[in-house]
Structure 1
Amino acid sequence: MRVVFLTHNYPRHPGDVAGAFLHVLARALVAQGVAVRVVAPADGGETGPAELDGIPVRRVRYGRPERETLAYRGTLAGAVTRPARWRDLAALFGALRRAAREELARGADLVHAHWWLPAGVAAAGQGPGVVTLHGTDVALLDRLPPLRPLGRRVLRGALGVTAVSTDLATRAGRVAGLAPGAIRVEPMPALAPAGRAHGGGGAAVVARLTRQKRVDLVLRALAHPDLAARGVALTVVGDGPERPALERLAREVGLGARVRFVGEVPPAQVGQYLAAADVLLATGVREGFGLVAVEALALGVPVVACRDGGGLLDIVPDGGGGRLVEPSPPALAAAVLDLLGDAGAAAAALAAGERWRARLAPAEVARRYAAFYREALGAA
Structure 2
Amino acid sequence: MSSETPPAPESRSLSRNIWKGIKWALLVLVLYFVWQQGAKLYREQGEALSGMEINSLWLLLSGICYILAWLPSVWFWRQLLLSSGEPVSIGPVARAYYCGHLGKYIPGKVTVLLIRATLLKDFGVRVSVAALTAAYETLAVMGVGLVVFLSLIPVVLNAEQIQQWPAWVQSVQARPWLVPGLFLIAVFVSLPLLSRLLNLFAKKFTKSEVDESEAGPPAAFSLKLLYLGVLMFLASWILHGLCLGMTLASINGTGLQWQEWPRWTAAVSAAYALGFLAIFAPAGLGVREGLISMILAGSALIGPVNAVVAALLIRIVSFASEILAAFVLYYSFGKSAQDQDDSVQADADSQSIDSQ
Q: TM-score, normalised by structure 1?
A: 0.28
In terms of fraction of residues, the more helix-rich structure is 2
Q: TM-score, normalised by structure 2?
A: 0.30
In terms of fraction of residues, the more strand-rich structure is 1
Q: Which gives a bigger RCO, structure 1 or 2 (Cα 8 Å, sep 6+)?
A: 2
